[in-house]
Amino acid sequence: MDRAGALIEAVLDTRGGLIDFARGCSDEQWVARPLGEADPRPVGVIVDHVADAYEYLARWISALAAGHEAEITPKVIDGLNARHAADNASPSCAQVCAHLTASGDALTALIASLADDQLAEGARCARLADIAARHAVAHREELEAALAARA
């Protein structure tokens, strides 16, 4: 499998796991805040945050692929995440799964369009695509563990 195919597969696999997790949440779990003070967002908002992150990662990848700079700092990311949480306080599971599907499909289509050098190991575009895959699984595992600890 080529690098684009591997990155696309990773994004799709981890997105699928997150969608399965979301669909398996009870109504009570969906609105729970199992991460407490560390992350006070409800489960549904955290899951939707991954779909939102696919979108900003895609914007950065597009900019980099076009030869432009992308400001990627913790402050920028924190601002994007805060705005998302404020604008999406109580999304439904159906809305979130549709958002994950649409934004993940757009991201994987973008990855498929990139040149080999843009996807080479260590290239910024490739690193951002890899982050997209790892981000979905990290949040799923964190939420699964937190919900299990509450049970």
Instruction: Give CA–CA dist 40/33, Å, rounded.
Output: 6
pLDDT tens column, 45-86: 999 999 999 999 999 999 999 999 999 999 999 999 999 999
Structure tokens at 41: 């967002």
Does residue 48 contact residue 95 with C-beta atoms inside 8 Å? yes
CATH number at residue 45: 1.20.120.450
**Number of folded domains in the chain?**
1
- Residue 122: the pLDDT is 86
pLDDT tens column, 98-143: 999 999 999 999 999 999 999 988 899 999 999 999 999 999 999 9
Question: Please, where are the H alpha helices in the chain?
Answer: 3-24, 27-31, 43-65, 74-87, 93-113, 124-150
Domain that holds residue 15: 3-150
